[in-house]
Amino acid sequence: MILSMTGYGKATAIYGSKKICAEIKSLNSKALDLSTRIAPLYREKEMEVRTLIAQQLERGKVDFNLWIEEDAAQQGAPINRAIIENYHAQIKVISEATGIPEPADWYATLLRMPDVLTRTEVKELSDEEWMVARTAVEGAIEQLMEFRRQEGAALERKFSEKLDNIENLLHSIAPYEQERTDKIRERILDSLQKNLGVEYDKNRFEQELIYYIEKLDINEEKQRLTNHLSYFRETMREGHGQGKKLGFIAQEMGREINTTGSKSNHAEMQNIVVRMKDELEQIKEQVLNVM
């Protein structure tokens, strides 16, 4: 089964007035390249989060985000009454002592003073809250994995289609092989008779012709390419993590197709080789997304 390295997942969980949100997305990469943005309250659990992600995703450029959305009624910073009263008293004393007029707008002045609007409570992460947050993290990872499975199934269908196309094109070469041999023979004979005008030993000519044609024979390349096509299909049915292996097989397929093209010495066969290369390039592009 093929898994794609491209994916996206998001999950939420509720704890009291908090809405805990986890979001994760991934793109293709040669190894696991993980970056995280985690709310300060949960930062002590970053290593645990990284381990959860690494166990499931294995490869890919991964961005993970964990944040908190609190009820608007709970978000406002409290006004520190004691500090405001202290500032008010100090300003009145200074005004009386210096003759400087008191502020016309006390609220505007006092609310701008340091530490008037501060959160005095100390937040600590409880085990109960973390277990809730962890369900959001795991839910986002599972959504991403499901996305990867769906994308992987689409890739597998695409690969199968391209492999079938290459196989059909390979079979379509056969009718031109005998035609190519006959044309080579005719071209050499024509050169001997018309251009050189010399007598020749027909038996020796046939021997040399056979040797020359054997050098252009593509049966081995066809057989190896057929084997690579089969091996690619077998590898797709293996467990996940076969992306690099499929890439290596595609490279070997390219070598056989290129050699076939260089040996073909026939216009129609070379056209078929170009079409096979086009199908293979599409496979190579998509193999980069396979985990």
What does the pLDDT read at residue 140?
Answer: 97
Q: How confident is the model at residue 75 (pLDDT cuts 50, 70, 90)?
A: low
Given a cut of 80, is residue 128 above it in pLDDT? yes
* CATH assignment of the domain containing 68: 3.30.230
Q: How confident is the model at residue 50 (pLDDT cuts 50, 70, 90)?
A: very high
What does the pLDDT read at residue 256?
Answer: 95
- In this structure, the answer to whether residues 42 and 135 fall within a common structural domain is yes
* Domain region containing 208: 151-287
- In this structure, the answer to whether residues 214 and 282 fall within a common structural domain is yes
pLDDT tens digits, residue range 146-175?
A: 999 999 999 999 999 999 999 999 999 988
pLDDT tens digits, residue range 209-220?
A: 666 666 778 888
pTM score of the predicted model = 0.71
**Alpha carbon separation from 138 to 19, 57, 82, 238, 260 (Å, rounded):** 15, 12, 44, 26, 50
- In this structure, the answer to whether residues 100 and 173 fall within a common structural domain is no
pLDDT tens digits, residue range 218-245?
A: 888 999 999 999 999 999 988 777 889 9
Q: How far apart are the first and last CA of the chain?
A: 10
- In this structure, the answer to whether residues 28 and 157 fall within a common structural domain is no
What does the pLDDT read at residue 267?
Answer: 85
pLDDT tens digits, residue range 256-280?
A: 999 998 888 788 989 999 999 999 9
- In this structure, the answer to whether residues 178 and 270 fall within a common structural domain is yes
What does the pLDDT read at residue 175?
Answer: 85
- Given a contact cutoff of 8 angstroms between Cβ atoms, the answer to whether 234 and 163 are in contact is no
- Total domains in the chain come to 3
- In this structure, the answer to whether residues 136 and 159 fall within a common structural domain is no
CA distance 100 to 92: 9
**Is there a domain that residue 2 lies in?**
no
- In this structure, the answer to whether residues 66 and 82 fall within a common structural domain is no
- In this structure, the answer to whether residues 101 and 155 fall within a common structural domain is no
What does the pLDDT read at residue 210?
Answer: 65
- In this structure, the answer to whether residues 63 and 168 fall within a common structural domain is no
**Is there a domain that residue 187 lies in?**
yes
CA distance 117 to 113: 9
**Is there a domain that residue 116 lies in?**
no
What does the pLDDT read at residue 257?
Answer: 95
What does the pLDDT read at residue 35?
Answer: 95
What does the pLDDT read at residue 85?
Answer: 87
What does the pLDDT read at residue 214?
Answer: 66
- How large is the average pLDDT for residues 16-37? 93
- In this structure, the answer to whether residues 53 and 181 fall within a common structural domain is no
